[in-house]
Amino acid sequence: MTAPMRSHSNKSGLLSNLSLTPLVYVLLSYLLCNIGESDAERADIETASSETTALQEIPEEQAYASVDEEASHFDYFARPQAQDLDTFFNYHPQQPTKHHLLAKVFHSKHGTNRKWLTYSEKTQSLYCSVCLAFAPAAGESPFIKGGMKTWKHVHQRIGEHEKSKIHRDSADAYFLLAKKADIKSLLADKQMSLHHEQVKKKRQVMERIIDVIKVIGKCGLSYRGDKAEAAAYTLEDTAVNHGNFRELVILLSRYDLCLQQHISSCIEQSKKHHDTGAKGRGSLVTLLSEDIVGKVVDALSQVIKGTISDEVREAGLFSVQIDTTQDVTSKDQCAIIVRYVTDVVHERLVAVVNCEKSTVKHLTQLLKNILDKQWHVCGQLH
């Protein structure tokens, strides 16, 4: 059941014709979702904690609310019914400004107003209006159930809630409700604009990095150098061999402004992090690490497999060749090749998997698993 292995030079045609758009969206959504807090944000949290004692003693007569909650039969700080959402959001947010320490929590360090944060004079507590309306009933956040009454570290608690999944999902639901409104002015428009600009730049950088990885794969070159991956602050050192991938990116950055700004930013931030004596990259996202290259290669592999699967279905008939060979650890590795005809004859290497046994039964089952689970290609095996 074995046959000599052949070269598969036509695989580079698939690699060079891949669409970048789905890869960029998938990879950037993974990379940009979890960026750590900046030093300025942490400093803001630390300075704010010194004010919590004063906040705990806010006189009730200094609080302000535009609507008398006690005189109203409608509970504005409980989950509203669907028909009451307009009334609910016409009332919120309640943000009294007579006490400067209380007024400060309604604004971020950038000066933008947190319009989702609202204050109850009756209970002297902070609530999240969008989470009150749309969060699951099982939500345990104090901004949803009972209100935030603990003023110690209140700035930190507000920041944690603002970044939580429950709050993000509730904000998305609110956007759907208010889709005819000017969304940019509803919640932290400056942060949203800044975030969108960062995403746009990272996407442009990611497109160029994917192109570089495709070229290296097409030429059959290695991605990394002989030595372990160096830190980002060494990228400006021309005496260091950074490997094919990084060297190509550095070369392109000389002629591409987008890459040039990204590389310069990575070097600068990496130097600052290194000077602190801390280990690792911290919250720095360079898009140049070994992990990123691996994720791009995996994504390219899935796209190539999908293309081959579509071509096999279009051809209708196909044949399979398998062959085994031992690796450096003396374990058998089985190569699986599919042959089919469209306008030309195609021969594709679709998988290389570990082969535990060399019996006909095991090889047949191994082949069926690859075709059924990975390729969803149905055929009769003889």
Q: In what order do the strands lie in the sheet with 345-354?
A: 318-326, 332-341, 345-354
pLDDT reading at 7 higher than 60: no
Look at residues 338, 337, 340 and name the one whose alpha carbon lies nearest to residue 314: 340
Query: Residue 163, Cβ neighbours under 10 Å: how many?
Result: 11
The pLDDT tens digits of the residues spanning 290-317 come to 888 899 999 998 888 888 888 888 888 8
d(CA 40, CA 30): 24
* CA distance linking residue 225 with residue 15, whole number of Å: 23
Split at pLDDT 50, 70, 90, the class of 56 is very low
Report the interhelical angle of 257-275 vs 189-219 (nearest 10°). Answer: 100
Cβ contact 350:338 at 8 Å:
yes
CB neighbours (10 Å) of residue 165?
7
Work out the pLDDT band at 72, boundaries 50, 70, 90.
Answer: low
| pLDDT at 37 (0 to 100) | 42
Report residue 45's pLDDT band, with 50, 70 and 90 as the boundaries.
very low
The DSSP string of 78-114 is SPPPGGGHHHHHHH------SSHHHHHTTB-TTS-B-
How high is the mean pLDDT of the chain? 76
Share of the chain above pLDDT 90, in %: 12
Percent of the chain with pLDDT over 70: 73
Confidence of residue 28 (pLDDT cuts 50, 70, 90): very low
Asked if residues 323 and 355 have their Cβ atoms less than 8 Å apart, the reply is: no
Q: Which helix (H) or strand (E) holds 118?
A: strand 117-120
pLDDT digits (tens, 9 = 90+) for 156-165: 888 888 888 8
